[in-house]
Amino acid sequence: MSLETIRLSQQGRDQLIKLKRHTGIKHWNVLCRWALCTSLADPTPPLVRDIVTDSNVEMNWKTFAGQYGPTNRALIKERAKREEGSSETDALARSAHAHIHRGVGMLSGAPSPSIAGLISNAL
Say which DSSP state 56 is in.
S
List the CATH number of the domain containing 96.
1.10.1220.160
Position 113 pLDDT exceeds 70: no
19-28, 53-62, 73-82, 110-119: least confidently modelled range: 110-119
CB 66 within 8 A of CB 51: no
Range of the domain at 63: 5-122
Position 69 pLDDT exceeds 90: yes
Model pTM score: 0.87
112: left (phi over 0), alpha (psi -120 to 50) or beta: left
Q: Is the four-CA dihedral 122, 7, 51, 2 of positive or negative sign? A: negative
Mean pLDDT score of the chain: 88
pLDDT bin (cut points 50, 70, 90) of residue 112 is low
Name the domain count of the chain: 1
